[in-house]
Amino acid sequence: MMNHTDPQTPRWHVLTVKKGCEKQVTRDLRALGFDTLIPFRRVIRQWSDRRKRLDEPLFRGYAFVCVSEARRSEVFAAGKNMAFLRHEGRPCLLRDAEVELLRHWSQGIDPPETDSYGQLRPGSLVEIVEGAFLGYRGIIRAVDNDNRLRLELLFTGSLSLATVEHTLVKLI
């Protein structure tokens, strides 16, 4: 059984990092001996002369590191553009189930194939089929020029807004 109050016991923390630097930060943290996770998804980007398959972070601006309270300050040796995410003055720590889910996503998420993009319009009801909001339903409020959908999601009786790729939803 893990003692969560012992300052020597490593726990999973959430780091905020400069967007676009997620992979570099995790590489630098691993070089310093820390266990890290960076969930990603595989996307296809289209340029005028080619298409390329890329791995992009699932949570832009965030990385996950396992570190004890006693070694937290050592994390900053990996770079200046990061901070521990805090809530009500305390570090945000991940539960075991969340870590397992992040480990799974760290192997990469391939977006499902969809042929319904042309039918995705404001007011359409959709279900998210991949990613952090898997299984949630929402109403499309806007479709951006870069094929991202602005959804209004229903979370435990309250409405939340999210922006997702069109390939991560299906029409209901």
Average the pLDDT over 106-129 and give the result.
71
Would you say residue 44 has pLDDT above 80? no
| Whole-model pTM over 0.85 | no
Q: pLDDT confidence of 71, banded at 50, 70, 90?
A: very high
Return the number of other C-beta atoms located less than 10 Å from residue 98's C-beta: 13
Token pair 């960076």 is found at: 38
Average the pLDDT over 42-55 and give the result.
79
Q: What is the pLDDT of residue 171?
A: 82
Average the pLDDT over 133-162 and give the result.
76
CA–CA gap between residue 131 and residue 110 (Å, rounded) = 10
Residue-averaged pLDDT of the chain: 82
3-state secondary structure the chain: CCCCCCCCCCEEEEEEECCCCHHHHHHHHHHCCCEEECCEEEEEEECCCCEEEEEEECCCCEEEEEECHHHHHHHHHHCCCEEECEECCEECECCHHHHHHHHHHCCCECCCCCCCHHHCCCCCEEEECCCCCCCCEEEEEEECCCCEEEEEEEECCEEEEEEEEHHHEEEC
Q: What is the pLDDT of residue 114?
A: 47
Q: What is the pLDDT of residue 111?
A: 54
CA–CA gap between residue 121 and residue 118 (Å, rounded) = 8
Q: What is the pLDDT of residue 115?
A: 46
Q: What is the pLDDT of residue 135?
A: 82
**What is the token pair recorded at 33?**
């001996």
Average the pLDDT over 89-93 and give the result.
89
Q: What is the pLDDT of residue 118?
A: 63
Q: Name the β-bridge partners of 143.
A: 149
Q: What is the pLDDT of residue 12?
A: 95
Q: What is the pLDDT of residue 33?
A: 94
Would you say residue 106 has pLDDT above 90? no
